[in-house]
Structure 1
Amino acid sequence: MNAVVDKPVDGDGRTRVRLAELMALRARVAKAALPRLESRAMRAGQQSSRLYGRGMDYAESRVYQPGDDVRRLDWRLTARSGRLHTKLFQEEREGQLLILLDAHESMRFGTRVRLKSVQAARAAALAAWYAVRAGERVGLMSFGNGHSMLRPQAGTRGALAVCGALADWDANYPALPGEPLSDVILRAARLMHGANRVLLISDGLSCDEAARGRLLDLSHKAGIRVLVVADALELGLPPAGRYPMEHDGTRREVALFGERQRREFQQALGAGQTRLNAMAQALALPHVTIDTAADPLDAVISLLAPGVRR
């Protein structure tokens, strides 16, 4: 006799993750024109993935690290950026993408269309569908809501598992006290399960100075991409006016009229995304910022497409 399990109530896609929407994103990725996508899944269960190997095909460039072969220096990018860069080449093997998803309380904020947490989940689902279309395995690790981990899996089952975890974690796992990004990166380095690419999705408020060194260390093992999710009020000067704010059932109103007052408000609210973007820039990690009203598809493709370099 089978047990009867109540189907969980799906979110509204604005304040809570909507599983049906995440699953439907598969069709959008399937129709998208993906630049230079080279899937070998049909041929050998493998694809050309960007590894720090010494194959014949150029993959990308990153900031020079001690011990790199000087014969692999990218002189054009070095001249353009003013910093030494090394060329990386790709090998034949099955790729694995690990998505690091920020689930801190700060992500449950939004003034346009949806909360940052919902937008981050949409971006993560698109990344999962993109990865499996390219023949990669995909895994998911959240932070700020406990140590939730989904090991990399292949094919449609892998992407569906990511979508299910995103909806489940959003509905059932409460946000916990702040977890420094440096601790998250250290844990990810131990639990990567062979992932050769990492996509960090965050609003940056957990970004601490110690994360710089650990991101640099992790970049020796995997290609790191950063997707910053921000609200419109965190990205630009808010118009003068009164702004109702609600947190844990308590509703307050913030009056913003003077230009200095509005600028200080925006800088304080957007400190996380500014800090994370600056760190990614300093480490030459490809990074994109999207707001809560944007379509994340182009941003995800621009970060995960083969040969991307920023």
Structure 2
Amino acid sequence: MKRNDKLVELLERIRSVELATHRRVQDLLAGQYRSVFRGRGVELDQIREYVPGDDVRAIDWNVTARMGRPFVKEHIEERQLTLLLLVDVSASAEFGSSARDKRDRIAELASALAFSAIETGDRVGLVLFTDRIERFVPPGKGRRHVLRILREILTVEPEGTGTDLVEPLELVRRVQRKRAVVVMVSDFLESGDREVSLTRLQHAMRLTNARHDVIAARVRDPREVELPDVGWLVLEDAETGEEVEIDTSRREVRERYAADVRRQSEELTAALRAARVDALEVFTDEEVGPALLSFFRRRGRGLS
């Protein structure tokens, strides 16, 4: 494909993703984003002497001990939050059995979140990762900045093929001192020892979530959950190249595969719950907007 043709295709993809997400942002998503996140960030305004009627939970016991009389902390809502998108661009994200692969849905989800953030005046940053950090875009504001983020997601040519979910979380802890909303968008598939990977992820999530508000956004394809009955099939690990041939016409094979996938999913859910990280899930054959809106509403009720 010629360079000009590639540029035209890129612009069309950016425009289609922008239209698909921005319409939703204009009505419900931005409002839900604001209600879920804007009230959660607070900064210290002042410490003043206690007066009857103040919430005793706001008492600053250190100052109270020094002064010999009660003082309370007064907080105000942060006027501006930072949204950091940690986007998985490893080889497994290229998989898709429907019209859109996981990379497309990942781009749409990231775009919807980014547009929601700028609608409320927040800043948005981006980390693209595989088994290494591929790209880092510092937080910025405005529509042009969001379009740059979307372009980076759609055009990146990763050097790595594997996945390391811990590396981007460590980067966040190094570079982002002030509290941020951190959304990891990934299929959460890692090669290697599953138990070791989950232990590392849970630890990194817990450390990052202690300072920031971390959310796990999982993008999956239906064929990763349930195999079709199509006879002999070659399954390939997109990140290692390892292949295995199975007979999907046998019901016990399909059931065993589904059970393994279900167990792995439950283990991931348990690890995220232990780290106190909220999660949402989007499949490639469903629209991003309704799934994200449902998550916002559940989170607003404390149910996510």
Q: Which residue of 2 aligns with 1:153?
A: 140
Taking structure 1 as reference, are residues 48 and 10 closer, same or farther at Cα in structure 2, changes over 3 Å only? same
Alignment partner for residue 22 of structure 1, among 14, 17, 23?
17
Taking structure 1 as reference, are residues 258 and 224 closer, same or farther at Cα in structure 2, changes over 3 Å only? same
Offset of residue 276 of structure 1: 3.0
Cα deviations by residue, 1:66-109 (Å, 9 ceiling, x for unpaired) = xxxx959xxxxxxxxxxxxxxxx872321110011111111111
Alpha-carbon distance in 1 for matches of 2:94, 2:152: 17
**1:217 maps onto 2:207 in alignment:** yes
Taking structure 1 as reference, are residues 104 and 289 closer, same or farther at Cα in structure 2, changes over 3 Å only? same
Q: Which residue of 1 aligns with 2:229?
A: 240
SS in 2 for 1:110: coil
Offset of residue 218 of structure 1: 0.8
Alpha-carbon distance in 2 for matches of 1:154, 1:299: 25
Offset of residue 12 of structure 1: 8.6
Greater Cα shift, 146-155 or 21-30:
21-30
Alpha-carbon distance in 2 for matches of 1:250, 1:227: 26
Taking structure 1 as reference, are residues 271 and 203 closer, same or farther at Cα in structure 2, changes over 3 Å only? farther
Q: Residues 35-54 of structure 1 correspond to what in structure 2 (within 5 A)?
A: 36-37=31-32, 48-51=38-41
For 2:126, give the aligned amino acid.
L
In the alignment, is the contact (CA less than 8 A) between 2:198 and 2:271 conserved in 1? no
For 1:289, give the aligned amino acid.
E
Alignment partner for residue 284 of structure 2, among 292, 295, 298?
292
For 1:8, give the aligned amino acid.
K
SS in 2 for 1:229: strand
For 1:157, give the aligned amino acid.
R
Alignment partner for residue 153 of structure 2, among 166, 182, 204?
166
Offset of residue 284 of structure 1: 3.1
SS in 2 for 1:213: helix
For 1:101, give the aligned amino acid.
V
Offset of residue 194 of structure 1: 3.8
Alpha-carbon distance in 2 for matches of 1:35, 1:167: 23
For 2:287, give the aligned amino acid.
D
For 2:24, give the aligned amino acid.
V
**1:266 maps onto 2:258 in alignment:** yes
How many residues were matched structurally? 264
Offset of residue 200 of structure 1: 0.9
Q: Which residue of 1 aligns with 2:6?
A: 8
Q: Which residue of 1 aligns with 2:188?
A: 204
RMSD (CA atoms)? 3.7
Taking structure 1 as reference, are residues 298 and 192 closer, same or farther at Cα in structure 2, changes over 3 Å only? farther
Taking structure 1 as reference, are residues 238 and 199 closer, same or farther at Cα in structure 2, changes over 3 Å only? same
SS in 2 for 1:94: coil
The structure having more radius of gyration, on CA atoms, is 2
Cα deviations by residue, 1:154-208 (Å, 9 ceiling, x for unpaired) = 1212211211111221xx33543332x2233112211336451011111111353
Taking structure 1 as reference, are residues 219 and 90 closer, same or farther at Cα in structure 2, changes over 3 Å only? farther
Cα deviations by residue, 1:1-49 (Å, 9 ceiling, x for unpaired) = xxxx857345599xxx92222232353134332475586xxxxxxx945
Alpha-carbon distance in 1 for matches of 2:97, 2:6: 27
Alpha-carbon distance in 2 for matches of 1:303, 1:90: 26
For 2:27, give the aligned amino acid.
A
TM-score (norm 1): 0.71
Cα deviations by residue, 1:114-161 (Å, 9 ceiling, x for unpaired) = 211221111111111111112111111011074211111112122112
Point out where structure 2 has 5 or more consecutive residues left out of the alignment. 46-55, 59-74, 191-196
**1:104 maps onto 2:104 in alignment:** no
Greater Cα shift, 151-160 or 203-212:
203-212
For 2:40, give the aligned amino acid.
R
Offset of residue 51 of structure 1: 2.0
Q: Which residue of 2 aligns with 1:59?
A: none
Taking structure 1 as reference, are residues 37 and 106 closer, same or farther at Cα in structure 2, changes over 3 Å only? closer
Identity %: 20
Alpha-carbon distance in 2 for matches of 1:107, 1:267: 22
Alignment partner for residue 126 of structure 1, among 94, 104, 112?
112
